[in-house]
Structure 1
């Protein structure tokens, strides 16, 4: 028969590992969302740079 102290230690270990698993899943979700936002921002910036003239061509023509 398993003693109460061994059962308590086993229960504590199982709960601590499950806590790590929850943290890992949450961290992964945040990382995925942050990466998605970063990629979207870069894409929007690239489109804005392509659509909006920056005036560099005007400076070259004046020289």
Structure 2
């Protein structure tokens, strides 16, 4: 009976540690997706602003 406890503790440690790894990888994936998404939106805003300036012939330097 005493030999089972270390095995149970080791098994639980491995299972719980792998769960933390999954959460860390998922968090990194979400963070990267948010960064890429914000870069795409920022680029779209810049392109739209440039298009509006070109159509309205407005100049930043006044």
Bucket of the pairwise TM-score, normalised by the shorter protein? 0.7 to 0.9
Name the SS of the counterpart of 2:44 in structure 1.
helix
The equivalent of 2:50 in structure 1 is: 50
Q: How far did residue 34 of structure 1 move? A: 0.7
Root-mean-square deviation (CA, aligned residues, Å) is 1.8
Relative contact order (C-alpha < 8 Å, sep 6+): which is higher? 2
Please report the TM-score for the alignment, with normalisation by the length of structure 2. Answer: 0.79
Q: Please tell me whether Structure 1 or Structure 2 has the larger radius of gyration of its CA atoms.
A: 1
Gapped regions of structure 1 (runs ≥ 5): 58-63
Q: How far did residue 10 of structure 1 move? A: 0.4
Gapped regions of structure 2 (runs ≥ 5): none
Alignment: residue pair count: 55
